[in-house]
Chains A and B, each alone.
Chain A
Amino acid sequence: MSAAVPVLEAREVTKAFGEREVLRGLDLTVREHEAVALIGASGSGKSTLLRCIDLLEEIDDGDVLLDGEVITDPSIDPVGVRRRLGLVFQAYNLFPHMTALQNVILGERRAHGASKAEAEERGRALLARFGLAGREDDRPDNLSGGQQQRVAIARAFAGRPRALLLDEVTSALDPELVGEVLQAVRDLKQEGMTMVIATHEMSFAREVADQVAFLHEGRILEQGPPTQVLESPKQEETRRFLSRLLEAGRA
């Protein structure tokens, strides 16, 4: 493990929605080129954590650092921070009134100031890279769920993010479409993309993640290499969570 500054760091992050405390002093470190899989029950705060990192939610206490800089300071402009991160949503959230290509280049054109020609050239290359050559002019409703999610990944990647945040990117997909999306994430990992991956796919976490972090009651209860956390968890709660998944046939 390098001694360099981590790309992302959450320190004692607290977030409540009204009375409901979702994150209760959460710590997490993500180093360069590292993929961290966030696992945990539904409602354990995985999505909330990713949304807090991307500043779509304001945290109540603690800090989030990006490349050593505190980004959750209220005086910092969230727009600039979001331009350095990419977020992929569970429900894709593609813009339905735009074509696949327009979805991918919107951020580059409007947020990063690229020229139309430049953005389009790169957008086409990105779509082709994720197996979507020829679908540039299709609107989201004409694409399958797997294709839509790959467009969404291309869109998040188009802004050349320092880190990609993936929020249950396969949960809304039909089982036979999961593979193509996971392949896209695998490719990104191979390229050295730094990623935080909230997921229910344990086999995928085992394969792609360098670290697995188990989220329970608003904290990271256990963290380590996949073999350790998934195969010989130290915490009773982790064991219980994994055996429940095993029963449901998802591990």
Chain B
Amino acid sequence: MPSDRRLEREAAKRRRQRRGQAIAVASSVVVLGGLAALILTSPGWPTVRETFFSWSIFKQSFPHVLDAFWLDVKVFVIVEVAVLIIGLVVALVRIARSPAIFPLRLLAIVYVDLFRGVPTILLVFLIGFGVPALELSGTPSEPVVLGGIALALSYSAYVAEVYRAGINSVHRGQRDAALAVGLTETQAMRHVLLPQAVRRVAPPLLNDFVALQKDVALISILGPLEAFREAQIIEAQTFNFTPLIAAALLYLAVTVPLARLVDRLGGPEGAVR
């Protein structure tokens, strides 16, 4: 039998919760309703609705944009795998202490500085148009491949730094303990430091995945028919921007679930196991 004091506390707690919910609902209605009213009553709204949100054009263009979107997904998956591997290798080279790989370390530093410092769109241009212009035999000439290479080079530089920060964040006592049980430096990295580092950097890595997924649209400047490009083509034919909205929804369909995954991994519990 709970005491009166306890019942009173529980009632007060419920009142507080109800009040909080009421405020949240009211403020959402005011803010969102206000925004909706502002947009819907704006003088240009009827035109905007017709050119951006035309249902008939949406229905007609969506299958085409979706078809093209598979290219985005393919490029994303392949580039992401490459980025995870290249980024890790660059991070390990930067961290290794062996004097034998000093030149590689120098190269890794220059690589990160250079490719992280140049806008991704510029890299896509330079590699997409520059490499074929060299006319070297054996170099890829497919725009999709070149665009993918540009994206991989750019994102690997970021991801290398994420890995490196993760490895450096593992307490040095862990390395000591690994060496003390008789592991070599390489074994200590592989079995003790890296597994802990990767768990820690999973949220920032996923964050970079989200960014990469969107940036796949950049390869459209080289010509491949991916979602954004396809949407633009239909837009040019119909003089209507709705296909771009369709493309945007497709990107969101991938990035929003990824973002929720990031939230869960980096949540208050941080329970990444």
Contacts and interface: CB of A to CB of B under 8 A. Distances in A.
Interface string B191-219: 11001100100000000000000000000
B233 interface: no
Contacts of B187: 110-111
A83 B182 contact: yes
Contacts of B173: 89, 91, 93
B180 A82 contact: yes
A155 interface: yes
Nearest to A57: B176
Nearest to A152: B177
B133 interface: no
B174 A93 contact: yes
A85 B179 CA distance: 11
B182 A82 contact: yes
Contacts of B195: 97
A169 B185 CA distance: 25
A112 interface: yes
Contacts of A54: 180
A107 B173 CA distance: 16
Size band of the interface chain A makes with B? 20 to 34
A93 B177 contact: yes
Most buried by A among B173, B177, B179: B177
Given A89-B173, A93-B173, A93-B174, A106 B183 contact: yes
Contacts of A96: 196
B191 A86 contact: no
Interface in A20-71: 51, 54, 56
A95 B180 contact: no
Nearest to B180: A87
A156 B191 CA distance: 17
Contacts of B191: 106, 110
Nearest to B190: A110
B184 interface: yes
Interface string A72-109: 00000011001101110101011111000000001100
B136 interface: no
B140 to A, nearest CB: 39
Contact of B181 (A51, A97, A111): A111
Given A93-B174, A95-B174, A107 B196 contact: no
A159 interface: yes
A79 B177 contact: no
Contacts of B183: 79, 106-107, 110-111
A97 B180 contact: no
Interface string B125-159: 00000000000000000000000000000000000
Instruction: Specify which of A93, A94, A96 lies most central, judged by the most chain B CB atoms within 10 Å of its CB.
Output: A93
Nearest to A165: B180
Residue from the set B180, B184, B191 with the largest chain A CB neighbour count within 10 Å: B180
Interface string A152-169: 000110110000000000
Given A89-B173, A89-B176, A95 B182 contact: no
A86 B179 CA distance: 10
B199 A107 contact: no
A156 B176 CA distance: 12
Nearest to A54: B180
A95 B179 contact: no
Nearest to B188: A110
B139 to A, nearest CB: 42
A159 B181 contact: yes
B273 to A, nearest CB: 8
Contacts of B196: 95-97
Interface of B: 171, 173-174, 176-184, 187, 191-192, 195-196, 199
16 contacts: A51-B176, A54-B180, A79-B179, A79-B182, A79-B183, A89-B177, A93-B173, A93-B177, A96-B196, A106-B181, A106-B191, A107-B181, A107-B183, A110-B191, A156-B180, A159-B182
Given A56-B180, A111-B181, 16 more contacts: A56-B179, A78-B179, A79-B183, A89-B173, A89-B180, A91-B173, A93-B176, A93-B177, A95-B178, A106-B183, A110-B187, A111-B183, A111-B187, A112-B182, A159-B181, A159-B182
